[in-house]
Structure 1
């Protein structure tokens, strides 16, 4: 390469955002070598063809990737490079979560704040409930409460609730051991989600709270800590109390309904309820759709949903049969098990094309 096409280390540093000292380190490491080194002065010169590699190197180091992994990413094919980056990100997130848990334990031991036992729950039952209710959450910038779980504890019941404004899920659990504590707060949903695996493998989980934290105490595993959110949780009880009476009730097999929903990957699913049963339509055309055997009472009704709101509500219902209570094409639908009501999900329909 002619010398006129080479850049001295200072120019190359400005082009790539790397310092000269960093470039010397990467050259000595063999990750980013100069094109030419002056044998007399020792000056290093880089070609324009090294700019892309140097920029990618800087970006990878900005996400705290070890130099050995950086070199592997830079020399890999695109698919392998993506896999290595994903592995690194997963490790960083896992390390951060472990550090966060350790920090919470340290703060707890230093402050010696007394904790309050609010419930003792069977681990597998609690894990299932958290997983089911968190399906009604969403990550929305500036509104962390929509990705959180609201926990209310009374002497004989613990209620878990979540909402993303389009869905609402709530489940009530009976504690394995009753306590006299009454408590309510909103808990970080992501941290609870990360603890589900440990909770499920624990026979009994003691739920304790302090002023700033929510603790899951497990006899055979390390305690897990979750942050409490200061934002006010939506008044879901007022919303539930203001719902009109259901005008149509359907009872049918959960598995059959899910199978029919999965056969329609479109962005709109329409349910047509008549006295003869239920039809699942991909559109609001007059085609018969997928007829399902169902027990129906009340008014005939046609109602539409986005699959991303309806499918999770149906799939998390407890038991073999699901029971939607319908109030009209523009009212929330209550979905619960036909024989167990401790998990209830409300799902908002979408506007019908026919009424547009």
Structure 2
């Protein structure tokens, strides 16, 4: 009788492997000491263990190894031949797949989608949406700026669910349409580039880079599905008849901040299409209440020129856009009474 250690050395199987094949019923020791649990094997089982070791090295499944050990001589050989046939078929498939991979390596890489803007336009586009990007770790898909490249335009989108900012620029696109979520550090670094030089953006699902005159900023897009921002556009343009009012952002900022420290701002359109800031106590059904800080940030992102506010009652988003320009605007979700 051989100990488990002797059997391991004689067969090429490890002690742990012998224990495994014992538990699986493939190679059960001839004797197990009831007092100390020691396993003992016969000389015939040494031969079986060597068979198991050989079949293990060629990848035969455990169930088939057990079948070989329990089969008569001819049946055991048929099982070996069947396994060899599977190995040969797998090798043919592997050769075919590796040949395909070699061919892919030898061909040119699929070009990335490319667009070109001036650094000033690009920085301004990011400025107009950056404030609305989320920072909630529970919603990582919103902690970036969506760069949505279509056949003839690129749209930059940021949202934290409570407000949304959108900026669209017509461009010439080389390559396929693509949507990537640009990380905020990449966005903020590009916002610092403000010259008249062109900037080329190259994007695909695994890389996003911007190249200017002597510099390149590269990062990896955030690997999430972004919210369907087009639904917000549809909700804004259908199903309502919003009232509009042109405002001077500096004047409106002063009205919002003068003597007020409330979290909410209630807006109304007064006589002569004038925007009025009213108290919460004076709120009517056609007024809209929004977050004060969000409104200030949207006004700041809109720039110094004249802005247009669109109000459509207390439960529809407040839209803020540049005068006579629908390419860049913000949507603020209303706060219910």
Compute the TM-score of the two structures, normalised by the length of structure 2: 0.61
Residue 194 of structure 1: how far off its partner (Å): 2.8
Q: How does 1:59-74 map onto structure 2 within 5 Å?
A: none
The corresponding residue for 1:341 is 326
Residue 319 to residue 115, structure 1, CA distance change in 2 (3 Å): farther
8 Å Cα contact 1:319/1:339 also seen in 2: no
CA offsets 1:223-266 (integer angstroms, 9 cap, x no match): 10122122110111123213432332212222211221232332
**Is 1:302 aligned to residue 253 of structure 2?**
no
Residue 180 of structure 1: how far off its partner (Å): 4.7
CA offsets 1:312-356 (integer angstroms, 9 cap, x no match): 12222256211111121121111101221210111012123xxxx
**Is 1:216 aligned to residue 210 of structure 2?**
yes
Q: Secondary structure at the match of 1:242?
A: helix
For the residues of structure 1 that align with 2:206 and 2:160, how far apart are their CA atoms? 24
CA offsets 1:83-107 (integer angstroms, 9 cap, x no match): xxxxxxxxxxxxxxxxxxxxxxxxx
8 Å Cα contact 1:322/1:336 also seen in 2: yes
The corresponding residue for 1:278 is 275
**Across the two proteins, how many residue pairs are aligned to each other?**
226
8 Å Cα contact 1:152/1:185 also seen in 2: yes
Q: How does 1:23-34 map onto structure 2 within 5 Å?
A: none
Of residues 227, 233, 236 in structure 1, which corresponds to 2:220?
A: 227
8 Å Cα contact 2:268/2:288 also seen in 1: yes
Q: Secondary structure at the match of 2:329?
A: strand
For the residues of structure 2 that align with 1:250 and 1:310, how far apart are their CA atoms? 15
Q: Secondary structure at the match of 2:287?
A: strand
For the residues of structure 2 that align with 1:201 and 1:160, how far apart are their CA atoms? 20
For the residues of structure 1 that align with 2:243 and 2:157, how far apart are their CA atoms? 25
The corresponding residue for 2:118 is 122
For the residues of structure 1 that align with 2:220 and 2:175, how far apart are their CA atoms? 23
Structure 2 gaps of 5+ residues are 1-107
**Is 1:141 aligned to residue 137 of structure 2?**
yes
8 Å Cα contact 1:123/1:204 also seen in 2: yes
Residue 201 of structure 1: how far off its partner (Å): 3.7
Residue 338 to residue 286, structure 1, CA distance change in 2 (3 Å): same
8 Å Cα contact 1:147/1:190 also seen in 2: no
8 Å Cα contact 2:200/2:212 also seen in 1: yes
8 Å Cα contact 1:170/1:344 also seen in 2: yes
RMSD over aligned CA atoms reads 2.4
8 Å Cα contact 1:150/1:184 also seen in 2: yes
Of residues 248, 253, 257 in structure 1, which corresponds to 2:252?
A: 257
**Is 1:152 aligned to residue 148 of structure 2?**
yes
**Is 1:191 aligned to residue 175 of structure 2?**
no
Q: Return 136-145 or 181-190, whichever deviates more.
A: 181-190
8 Å Cα contact 2:288/2:318 also seen in 1: no
**Is 1:172 aligned to residue 165 of structure 2?**
no
Residue 164 of structure 1: how far off its partner (Å): 0.5
The corresponding residue for 2:27 is none
8 Å Cα contact 1:192/1:226 also seen in 2: no
For the residues of structure 1 that align with 2:316 and 2:204, how far apart are their CA atoms? 39
Considering only CA atoms, is the larger Rg found in Structure 1 or Structure 2?
2
8 Å Cα contact 1:248/1:301 also seen in 2: no
Of residues 177, 183, 186 in structure 2, which corresponds to 1:182?
A: 177
For the residues of structure 2 that align with 1:331 and 1:286, how far apart are their CA atoms? 19
**Is 1:203 aligned to residue 197 of structure 2?**
yes
8 Å Cα contact 1:208/1:214 also seen in 2: yes
